[in-house]
Chain A
Amino acid sequence: MTDGSRAAILASIQGALGAAADEAAIAAEYDSLPRAYKRIGTLDGPALLELFTDRLLEYDAGVYRADTEGIGAKVGEILKARGVNRIAIPDDLPAEWLPAAFDFVKASRFTEMQLDKVDGVLSACTVAIAETGSIVLQNAPAQGKRSLSLVPDYQLCLVFAAQVVETVPEGFARLEATKNLPMTFFSGPSATADIEMTRIKGVHGPRFLDVLLVV
């Protein structure tokens, strides 16, 4: 049935559109589409991180800073403040990020059902967009599969200063090389405004979010 339908739909489209253009003409037309919008940001390093921090705070996320050597200690501090202990991690997370005294469990050993029972998740990211306060996770090193950052109720995400860009187009430029990987943009904890347009934190995704900026 579906083969006949495929041909019928394509024929109906072609009939409605008239003469088809060849591939080169379509590509040339695409290249000439107007794109006068802002692509490149103007903020310098500190101002950029400040904008990103402000956006995250607006989403009610916790924002912390550490230097490269201080990651493990800071992670411990944040987890302690949140009162969480059993934390799922991507299998390949560097050991020096993981403070002793917490129960870190590699995600590959978990089914989703078991993920539901951990306190939280810790991972890195691919890129962060300051203007919208968004962080992009991919199925890439130190990030793991998509459900890892979804099922637990608490999320701690590491963002390196060099990963922060200002605009959405700059973010997409960074993603271009790995665009085929499964990816999730998240901007604050999960939320809804479905009841009387009141924004409420935390429906199905993590209700609590902390971001550790590594500068």
Chain B
Amino acid sequence: MTPPETLAESRQNFPEAARELLADSQIRKNVRHATDVIQAKRNKVVAELPDWQDLREAGSAIRAHALEHLDHYLAQFEANCTRAGGQVHWARDAAEANSIILGLIQKHEAKEVIKVKTMTSEEIKLNAHLEAHGVRPIETDLAELIVQLGHDKPSHFVAPALHKNRQEVREIFQREMKLPELGETPEDLCAAARTYLREKYLRIKVAVSGANFLVAETGSVCLVESEGNGRMCLTLPDVLISIVGIEKVIPRFQDLEVFLQTLPRSATGERMNPYNSIWTGVHEGDGPREFHLVLLDNGRSPILADKEARQTLKCIRCAACLNVCPVYHQTGGHAYRSVYAGPIGAILTPQLHDMKDGRSLPYASSLCGACYEVCPVKINIPEVLIHLRGKIVEEEQKTLGGKLGLWNIGMQAAAFLFADASRFSAAQHLGQMGQKVFVSKSGFIEALPLMLSGWTQTRDLAALPKQTFRDWWAAREEREEKAR
């Protein structure tokens, strides 16, 4: 199998990219505002459901079960979708998916396609591929339209333009839609998008979408959205092409009763999002005459082999972990330099690349565990982060540079010292002597050298005390002995 196209937008690692973005106070302000608002709404509607933990448990079990029997459920989905008049295509990687989709568009001689927001198409960089072959993709989700017209990149799964405020959106629309008089209230901006797109919905004959769930039992596809742009793309054109990751399959129609409770509440803080569409193949007299579903692997199937990390694929892309993450809260999505940002992106991106890219991302976390607590399918993200860090270290230890690197030597030395009480105690005494040059007048260590400097960059470290706990304990026992 060919290696997946790179998801990473550049080779820049997380700390470097984060440093750049932290300097942009406007982005930080916009991200902070947006994530605070979504979080508050999410917490309110989640608190309404006394059975929230039971829903998480069920959702987690259903997704895990579907992944454990993924081959079975995919084959079942394919058979049922085909029986209902859909055409299922399989794409091993981004290049195959792009060429299948372009081929279908060219077969219908379309020069333009309307698109519903899909992370999967971002992943395979479909828009760039279509443009390179003379097909113009038109994003119809308001936020994706803002990103597309602004020649920008999405920074969040659910609200891809949350890093832009209304003035910035207005400038983009004024320029790109040629509306110099456009106002800046969200209502004005929405109305401009409605007018801009409506003519396109009615005219363009091919649509491209993603999907939230594939139902094996019926061969149905489920897509959730807010604006109605999805419904327009799913029902008005003659041809619909949906590109979906292979992990999105669930066993039965009834399972949606769990996810259609947990997904909207987690994603946008709504009891239900305004629109959910569910369709099965093609239906005479209702919607497209031709329906194509492209199943995308692109590095997913090998993740199943890792029993600890497999849970990553349970993700239903609600982005609750982004909104709650103290790291994402500061940096926003662009710092991850990946289509998939935030805590889930930090575990998904490197795995989709067979750990060859995005290697700094598992470290982009304080391991506080907030992401796990909000995850509607109970992905233990901190556990997977640590697991992936372990994998990276083990791989690096296999290279000469890694073996002789300062980190490895330091960590091996620490492991050696911590393994034995007398060695540990000796090291403490050495430390008490050795730290003297670093301890400031205030009694704190304000700057450490080399790789330890990161720790003291933004905080002071308490110096080792004159008497260690072990010394105090030993002295105490001596005193008691004497007293007796």
Sorting the interface of chain B by its residue count into under 10, 10 to 19, 20 to 34 or 35 or more gives 35 or more
Within 8 A of A (CB), among B295-339: 295, 297, 301-305
A133 located at the interface, meaning its Cβ lies under 8 Å from any Cβ of chain B in the complex = yes
Report yes or no: A195 in contact with B71, Cβ–Cβ below 8 A: no
Report yes or no: A169 in contact with B276, Cβ–Cβ below 8 A: no
Report yes or no: A26 in contact with B72, Cβ–Cβ below 8 A: yes
**Residue from the list B55, B165, B257, B278 in contact with A182, Cβ < 8 A:** B278
Report yes or no: B194 in contact with A195, Cβ–Cβ below 8 A: no
Report yes or no: A184 in contact with B277, Cβ–Cβ below 8 A: yes
**Residue from the list A34, A179, A194 in contact with B58, Cβ < 8 A:** A34
Report yes or no: A195 in contact with B287, Cβ–Cβ below 8 A: no
Report yes or no: B166 in contact with A196, Cβ–Cβ below 8 A: yes
What is the count of residue pairs linking A and B with beta-carbon distances less than 8 angstroms?
248
Given A5-B96, A176-B254, A195-B190, 19 additional A-B pairs, CB 8 A: A8-B92, A10-B75, A13-B70, A17-B71, A36-B58, A38-B51, A108-B285, A150-B235, A182-B283, A183-B277, A183-B279, A187-B271, A191-B274, A194-B143, A195-B186, A197-B33, A203-B193, A203-B194, A205-B274
Q: A131-B271, A196-B165 are in contact. Are A205 and B33 (CB under 8 A)?
A: no
A65 located at the interface, meaning its Cβ lies under 8 Å from any Cβ of chain B in the complex = no
Chain B residues with Cβ under 8 A from A202's Cβ?
190, 194
Q: A190-B275, A197-B162 are in contact. Are A33 and B58 (CB under 8 A)?
A: yes
Report yes or no: A146 in contact with B231, Cβ–Cβ below 8 A: yes
**Residue from the list B30, B218, B258, B260 in contact with A179, Cβ < 8 A:** B218
Report yes or no: A184 in contact with B276, Cβ–Cβ below 8 A: yes
Chain A residues with Cβ under 8 A from B169's Cβ?
195
Greatest chain A CB density within 10 A among B57, B69, B305 is at B69
B139 to chain A, nearest CB (A): 12
A80 to chain B, nearest CB (A): 26
* A189, B228: Cα distance in complex, Å: 9
Chain B residues with Cβ under 8 A from A129's Cβ?
272
Report yes or no: A33 in contact with B268, Cβ–Cβ below 8 A: no
A100 to chain B, nearest CB (A): 29
Chain A window 22-64, contacts with chain B (Cβ cutoff 8 Å), 1 for yes, 0 for no = 0100100110011111100000000000000001000000000
A74 located at the interface, meaning its Cβ lies under 8 Å from any Cβ of chain B in the complex = no
**Residue from the list A5, A16, A108, A176 in contact with B305, Cβ < 8 A:** A16
Chain A window 168-208, contacts with chain B (Cβ cutoff 8 Å), 1 for yes, 0 for no = 11011101100111111111111111111110101111100
Report yes or no: A196 in contact with B57, Cβ–Cβ below 8 A: no
A21 located at the interface, meaning its Cβ lies under 8 Å from any Cβ of chain B in the complex = yes
Report yes or no: B92 in contact with A187, Cβ–Cβ below 8 A: no
Interface stretch, picked from B83-91, B346-354, B455-463, B474-482, is B83-91
Chain B residues with Cβ under 8 A from A184's Cβ?
231, 275-278
List 15 A-B pairs, Cβ < 8 Å.
A9-B90, A16-B305, A36-B51, A38-B54, A129-B272, A146-B287, A169-B254, A182-B279, A182-B280, A185-B278, A187-B275, A194-B146, A195-B169, A197-B33, A204-B228
Chain B residues with Cβ under 8 A from A206's Cβ?
228
Interface stretch, picked from B195-203, B391-399, B440-448, is B195-203
B377 to chain A, nearest CB (A): 13
* A14, B303: Cα distance in complex, Å: 12
Report yes or no: A191 in contact with B69, Cβ–Cβ below 8 A: no
Chain B residues with Cβ under 8 A from A20's Cβ?
69, 71-72
B62 located at the interface, meaning its Cβ lies under 8 Å from any Cβ of chain A in the complex = yes
Chain A residues with Cβ under 8 A from B201's Cβ?
204
Chain B residues with Cβ under 8 A from A189's Cβ?
274
A128 to chain B, nearest CB (A): 11
Chain A residues with Cβ under 8 A from B234's Cβ?
146
Report yes or no: A182 in contact with B287, Cβ–Cβ below 8 A: yes
* A172, B70: Cα distance in complex, Å: 24
Q: A146-B235, A184-B277, A186-B275 are in contact. Are A204 and B194 (CB under 8 A)?
A: yes
**Residue from the list B187, B228, B268 in contact with A205, Cβ < 8 A:** B228
* A38, B140: Cα distance in complex, Å: 36
Chain A residues with Cβ under 8 A from B94's Cβ?
none
**Residue from the list B159, B275, B287, B304 in contact with A145, Cβ < 8 A:** B287
Report yes or no: B37 in contact with A33, Cβ–Cβ below 8 A: no
* A197, B287: Cα distance in complex, Å: 31
* A26, B112: Cα distance in complex, Å: 44
* A169, B1: Cα distance in complex, Å: 41
A132 to chain B, nearest CB (A): 4
Report yes or no: A190 in contact with B34, Cβ–Cβ below 8 A: no
Report yes or no: A194 in contact with B161, Cβ–Cβ below 8 A: yes
Report yes or no: A134 in contact with B272, Cβ–Cβ below 8 A: yes
B227 located at the interface, meaning its Cβ lies under 8 Å from any Cβ of chain A in the complex = yes
B270 located at the interface, meaning its Cβ lies under 8 Å from any Cβ of chain A in the complex = yes
